[in-house]
Amino acid sequence: MRTHTGFYNNTKGEFTTKALLGDTLVAAVHGYNVDTLVIPKANAVLFYLKRNSIQLQEVTINDTLLSPDKRLNRTKNEYKDIYFKGDPQDILQMGTENRPGGAGLGIDAIFSLLSREGKNARYLQEIIERDYKDNIINYRYTATLINRVTGLTDDRLLDFMQQYRPSYNFILRADEYQLISFIKESFRRYQSNPTLNRLPPLIPEYK
């Protein structure tokens, strides 16, 4: 510290310097606490540095975000029974070369159409289809994109996305330029009136 001169150690951690008795050496290594040592009556000195961080093992991170189509296919595979039970099929079945006979009513089709189990299966299919459309929108209309275009963050970002959420059909046909133009125009309206499209809170009815 007397001369304010810096120097480096070699790959073994060894170093040499010209120092006087009573001089103070400062050792600084990335990942370790800084240490000081006063030169004693000896030809060699040792620093004992303590780590200031924890060495972690290498971690491999894989992207687990599935596209809407892959998520839909996975969901269909998990609930494949409901697609069989909810499929009304052809109620009127005609005879074929492999299955001779006249026209008739398909028992499985009637059961699927009229039974509670078939109706519940079709209702669940509608939910899956609605979720799929929402995922299509969310896949492109992201908070990252909105933030990049508008600069909005936190609650205002969420408020804007809820008020100006694009439709499923628009997302399907819009290219990147059209989507960004939609966001910019919506943001202009949002700045003029931040509550224009905000849904009113639900008020419970008391009887």
Task: Give CA 66 to chain center in angstroms.
Answer: 9
Q: Answer whether 197's CB lies under 8 Å from 165's CB.
A: no
| 50-68 confidence digits (pLDDT tens) | 777 666 566 555 444 567 8
**Domain definitions of the chain by residue range:** 1-51, 83-136, 141-198
Q: How far is residue 207's CA from residue 192's CA, in Å, rounded to a whole number? A: 39
Q: How much is the mean pLDDT over the chain? A: 75
pLDDT for the residue numbered 169: 94
| 118-155 confidence digits (pLDDT tens) | 677 777 778 888 888 999 999 999 999 999 999 999 99
Token digits of residue 129: 């289809």
Check pLDDT > 50 for residue 164.
yes
Q: How far is residue 9's CA from residue 163's CA, in Å, rounded to a whole number? A: 61
Q: How far is residue 161's CA from residue 88's CA, in Å, rounded to a whole number? A: 38
pLDDT for the residue numbered 21: 80
Go through the chain and tell me how many residues it has.
207
